């Protein structure tokens, strides 16, 4: 039985990767912290391993002891209280993990780095041309910069068996950020950020996990892939689909970018007093203000034979059914 380690196993995406790894018959290790929730890690076949990604020495011992065949590095910070936290977790912790693997000479057969489309940054606001992995990255968020720094480090290594995945917005059950949008629509408000049309891409969490395991079983290494369902949606289409599925009549609310920025600053400041990071913050504002989040996925179609099983209609239905069943909606 092949041994697989999933870091960030307690998170939204990580918990789905763990489930799929078990389903596929891997000896599955959930990499967590002492403080991590096990709410979605209840299967008794899961083996837990407490990882301190800031401590290379302890990582070396743990990795030498276990010698994983595959590692999926999904731990990461998508919002942070201090600007430096992004670099500490998304870049430095990734570097520690990889250095520990190299120095203890226990390289896995494949290392999947869950990066983000934010590492590249959006396409041009002035057109609807999708970004390609061969394009020069220009991240416009601290989050994206930290992910790109980790990518650059990993890709500078010779013979390190890595595949880097850059998912666009991942949504599905258990997810907490898109949930805010679903909740707003459910409450009868249809929010629009900025007055100019916005072009969006999405990947349903189960489809993203499918790409992860396709990448694991592929002989390819050393490549970076954008991951989306392959379609382009306008913000209006996203709202229309959600409204239809939730069967809600809504009032449209167009919020100019300057107001969104002001709200982001206020929320960030007031939440910092209680040690929290709000979903809408200054870094997220930069994501929301970009008009073109289109990416080219022809590489995953060609290399992995990927075709989405969920487009937005199916994914939003399954996600919102889950939110309702869990009484989130």
Ligand X SMILES: NC(=O)c1ccc[n+]([C@@H]2O[C@H](COP(=O)([O-])OP(=O)(O)OC[C@H]3O[C@@H](n4cnc5c(N)ncnc54)[C@H](OP(=O)(O)O)[C@@H]3O)[C@@H](O)[C@H]2O)c1
Interface residue list for ligand X (CB under 6 A): 8, 10-14, 33, 35-37, 53, 74-78, 89, 93, 114, 116, 167, 169-170
Q: Which is nearer to ligand X, 10 or 250 (CB)?
A: 10
Determine how many CB atoms are found less than 10 A away from the CB of residue 52: 14
Q: Which is nearer to ligand X, 250 or 285 (CB)?
A: 285
Closest distance of CB 264 from ligand X, Å: 18
DSSP H stretches of helix in the chain:
12-23, 56-66, 83-86, 94-103, 142-155, 178-186, 205-217, 235-246, 257-273, 282-289, 298-304, 312-325
Q: Which is nearer to ligand X, 78 or 149 (CB)?
A: 78
Closest distance of CB 74 from ligand X, Å: 5
Q: Which is nearer to ligand X, 14 or 130 (CB)?
A: 14
Identify the helix (H) or strand (E) that includes residue 101. Answer: helix 94-103
Closest distance of CB 87 from ligand X, Å: 12
For helices 142-155 and 94-103, the axis angle rounded to 10 degrees is 20
Closest distance of CB 309 from ligand X, Å: 18
- Residue of 264, 258, 128 lying closest to 195 (CA atoms): 258
Whole-angstrom distance, CA of residue 310 vs CA of residue 265: 35
| Closest residue to ligand X in the complex (CB) | 11
**How far is CA 48 from each of CA 21, 30, 33, 84, 87, rounded to the nearest angstrom?**
14, 5, 10, 28, 26
Which residue(s) pair with 253 in the sheet?
191
Closest distance of CB 184 from ligand X, Å: 17
Whole-angstrom distance, CA of residue 241 vs CA of residue 232: 13
Closest distance of CB 258 from ligand X, Å: 26
Token pair 């399954």: residue:
318
Q: Which is nearer to ligand X, 117 or 250 (CB)?
A: 117
Q: Which is nearer to ligand X, 78 or 250 (CB)?
A: 78
- Residue of 201, 210, 204 lying closest to 173 (CA atoms): 204
């Amino acid at each position: 039985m092949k041994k697989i380690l999933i870091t960030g196993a307690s998170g939204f995406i990580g918990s789905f990767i763990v489930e799929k790894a078990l389903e596929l018959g891997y000896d599955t290790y959930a990499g967590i912290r002492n403080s991590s929730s096990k709410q979605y890690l209840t299967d008794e076949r899961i083996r837990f391993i407490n990882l301190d990604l800031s401590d290379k020495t302890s990582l070396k011992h743990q990795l030498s002891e276990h010698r994983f065949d595959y590692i999926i590095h999904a731990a990461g910070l998508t919002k942070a209280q201090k600007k430096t936290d992004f670099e500490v977790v998304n870049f430095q912790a990734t570097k520690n993990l990889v250095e520990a693997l190299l120095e203890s000479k226990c390289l896995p057969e494949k290392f999947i780095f869950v990066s983000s489309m934010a590492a590249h940054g959006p396409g041009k606001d002035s057109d609807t041309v999708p970004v390609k992995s061969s394009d020069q990255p220009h991240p416009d968020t601290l989050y994206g910069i930290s992910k790109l720094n980790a990518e650059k480090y990993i890709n500078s290594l010779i013979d390190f068996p890595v595949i880097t995945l850059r998912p666009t917005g991942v949504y599905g059950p258990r997810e907490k950020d898109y949930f805010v949008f679903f909740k707003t629509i459910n409450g009868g408000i249809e929010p629009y950020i900025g007055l100019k049309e916005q072009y969006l891409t999405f990947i349903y969490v189960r489809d993203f996990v499918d790409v992860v395991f396709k990448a694991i079983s592929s002989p390819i290494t050393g490549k970076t892939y954008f991951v989306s369902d392959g379609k382009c949606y306008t913000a209006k289409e996203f709202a229309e689909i959600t409204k239809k599925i939730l069967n809600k009549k809504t009032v449209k609310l167009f919020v100019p970018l300057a107001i969104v920025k002001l709200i982001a600053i206020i929320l960030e400041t007031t939440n910092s007093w209680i040690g929290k990071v709000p979903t809408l913050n200054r870094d997220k504002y930069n994501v929301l203000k970009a008009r073109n989040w289109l990416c080219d996925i022809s590489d995953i179609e060609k290399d992995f034979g990927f075709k989405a099983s969920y487009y937005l209609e199916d994914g939003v239905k399954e996600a919102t059914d889950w939110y309702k069943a869990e009484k989130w909606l």
